[in-house]
Amino acid sequence: MARIGIFDSGVGGLTVQRALLEALPGADTVYLGDTARVPYGTKSAATVTQYSLRNARVLEACGIDLLVVACNTASAVALPALRQALPVPVLGVVEPGARAAVRATSSGRIGVIGTAGTIGSGAYQAALKALRPDAVVVARACPLFVPLAEEGWTDPDDEVVRGVVRRYLAPLQAERIDTLVLGCTHYPILKGIIAEVMGTDVMLVDSAEETARTVTEILGSSNLLRPASEKGNRHYFVTDVPAGFIRVGNRFLGGKLGDVHQVSLEGY
Amino acid sequence: MARIGIFDSGVGGLTVQRALLEALPGADTVYLGDTARVPYGTKSAATVTQYSLRNARVLEACGIDLLVVACNTASAVALPALRQALPVPVLGVVEPGARAAVRATSSGRIGVIGTAGTIGSGAYQAALKALRPDAVVVARACPLFVPLAEEGWTDPDDEVVRGVVRRYLAPLQAERIDTLVLGCTHYPILKGIIAEVMGTDVMLVDSAEETARTVTEILGSSNLLRPASEKGNRHYFVTDVPAGFIRVGNRFLGGKLGDVHQVSLEGY
């Protein structure tokens, strides 16, 4: 059976895991959340690359056939190093997200929101320009969105939430974008309020869904998968104690997590 | 000359460094911000203790005479382990903060705000009760305050900031506290808006100032200090690249940081 490795700095990647399991319910997955070092979005490219390599080596030791980097920041800065270090295919979320955005836009005016690390790297901007050279890309880091999502302050009718979201998105509205990439795995949790603030004319692109589609393209034609009627094995690992991950994680996965085990990355 | 070691998960401890340098301008200080693993407030006691021991060993290798744990979360959970591991006195910020609060209160109704890790540990609650057994302690974690402070969203006239602060502080107001401990080194940056929301009847206690007073008591009488007219040496180390630390740090220190160097904690 094909085994898919997925890592993220913490719980955010569970939105990618969720999309993946919807598309490929029979897939075996091993998820690693680096909760002892979360978040990656505020850290340098060198540090994020070092952490990403360590995560990948742990998953490699689990015998994975494909690695999904379910963290936008790690996808933005660490893919070349990961591809060089690993013997299996490595898929990030930036390229699929950019592809979906280019398909969705008609005006070519595309917004991207993400962590400081993701936006600062310029990875989405470059990926979008490579696919559509005349695109106008408006990028904005939204550092308060992750803590809002983790606090569960996501109600579109909540005046405080609305105030924060409006402030970050105002410059994107002023640029009259028609497509907005949610370039952080936490942001789908805020989709309701983001959609309301941006209005119905703006298409929201969730990298998770497009990434799941790409994994399906790679694995779906192979006979390495169980029939969709059989549920695959799901393993969850974290680097800090599991309690906080489980509490927030059920909301992100949209269902109940199985057992979550703590692993040490020392020596990897 | 006496050399004081200070560590924090990141920039927040610079508010303690600032109070320390105001009280003891002649002191030699070595500051370590563990920016590659920041924040500590969302992580488990075991992980925070492991990180704290590593920070302390680096500072010990710098030949410090006294260690100030300028992080509330590390002070709340790692002091016993640090005191056992280090041959020099170790001072946290929780005990000084609690002492100042008990001195300030008249009704005995004391509020404490901090990270999830600090509040969850119950360290402030225990320290306050030990000093004043009949105290009524109302504690609340405020996860959005750190990102607000780091974004520089601190203007008391800002409706969004006011909305977030009001939501977190409402239960403390309802309990009619007369003293509020700012139990996180980031929170003094939000002092203006917190004071406005709580009103003039509530005394705000900043652990940093009381910690500086305690260090002065320990070292001030010794002849290990330069005369106040001579400025001590100040060294700054971080575990991630220094750029972000410098940008935010100048605001926290209330002045210009000197050179900031990156160190690796591997092997400590």
> Which residue is catalytic, options A79, A86, A93, A184?
A184
Alpha-carbon distances of A201 from A110, A112, A190, B194, rounded to whole Å: 12, 16, 18, 39
What pLDDT was estimated at residue B137?
98
Q: Can A142 be counted among the known catalytic residues?
A: no
A184 is catalytic: yes
Q: How many residues does chain B have?
A: 268
* Nearest residue to B66 via CA among B14, B17, B2: B2
Of A67, A69, A71, A102, the catalytic one is: A71
CB B40 within 8 A of CB B9: yes
ipTM above 0.95, yes or no: no
Cα B28 to chain centroid, rounded: 19
3-class SS at B264? coil
Does the pLDDT at position A258 exceed 90?
Answer: no
Average pLDDT of the residues in A70-96: 97
Q: Is B30 helix (H, G, I), strand (E, B) or coil?
A: strand
Q: Report the distance separating Cα A232 and Cα A217, nearest Å.
A: 18
Q: By mean pLDDT, which of A2-6, A216-220, B61-65 is the weakest? A: A216-220
What is the pLDDT, as a whole number, of residue B221? 64
Angstroms from A221 CA to nearest CA on chain B: 41
**DSSP type of residue B10:** S
Query: Under DSSP, is residue B31 helix (H, G, I), strand (E, B) or coil?
Result: strand
Q: Least CB-CB distance to B43: which of A36, A144, A164? A: A36
Under DSSP, is residue B62 helix (H, G, I), strand (E, B) or coil? coil
Active-site positions of B read: 71, 184
The string of DSSP codes covering chain A is --EEEEEESSSTTHHHHHHHHHH-TT-EEEEEE-TTT---TTS-HHHHHHHHHHHHHHHHHTT-SEEEE--HHHHHHHHHHHHHH-SS-EE-SHHHHHHHHHHH-SSSEEEEEE-HHHHHHTHHHHHHHHH-TT-EEEEEE-TTHHHHHHHT---TT-HHHHHHHHHHHHHHHHTT-SEEEE-STTGGGGHHHHHHHH-TTSEEEEHHHHHHHHHHHHHHTSTTSPPTTSPPPEEEEESS-SHHHHHHHHHHHTS----EEE---TT-
Distance CA A49, CA A45 (A): 6
Report residues of chain B scoring pLDDT below 70: 221-228
Rounded Cα distance, A161 and A145, in Å: 9
CA–CA separation, A238 vs B98, rounded Å? 34
Confidence band of A247 (pLDDT split at 50, 70, 90): confident
- Is the distance from CB of B23 to CB of B214 less than 8 angstroms? no
Arithmetic mean of pLDDT over chain A: 93
* Residue B222: predicted pLDDT: 63
Mutation site, A9, A11, A43, interface B, largest B CB count within 10 A: A43
Please, are residues B157 and B80 in contact by the beta-carbon 8 Å criterion?
no
CA–CA separation, A211 vs A214, rounded Å?
5
C-alpha torsion sign, points A77, A79, A80, A82 = positive
What is this structure's pTM? 0.92
A262 has a pLDDT exceeding 90: yes
For residue A164, the chain B residues in CB contact (below 8 A) are: 160, 164
pLDDT at B95: 96
Distances (CA, A) of B141 to A79, A130, A254, B115, B165: 36, 44, 25, 5, 12
Task: Calculate how close chain A gets to B130, using CA atoms only, in Å.
Answer: 29
Can the peptide bond before residue A39 be classed as cis, meaning omega within 30 degrees of 0?
Answer: yes
Q: Give the pLDDT of residue B214.
A: 93
Residues of B in contact with A240 (CB under 8 A): 43-44, 47
- B-chain residues near A144 (CB < 8 A): 144, 147-148, 151, 153
Chain B hits for A37, CB-CB cut-off 8 Å, are 36-37
Beta strand pairing call for B179-182 and A260-262 = unpaired
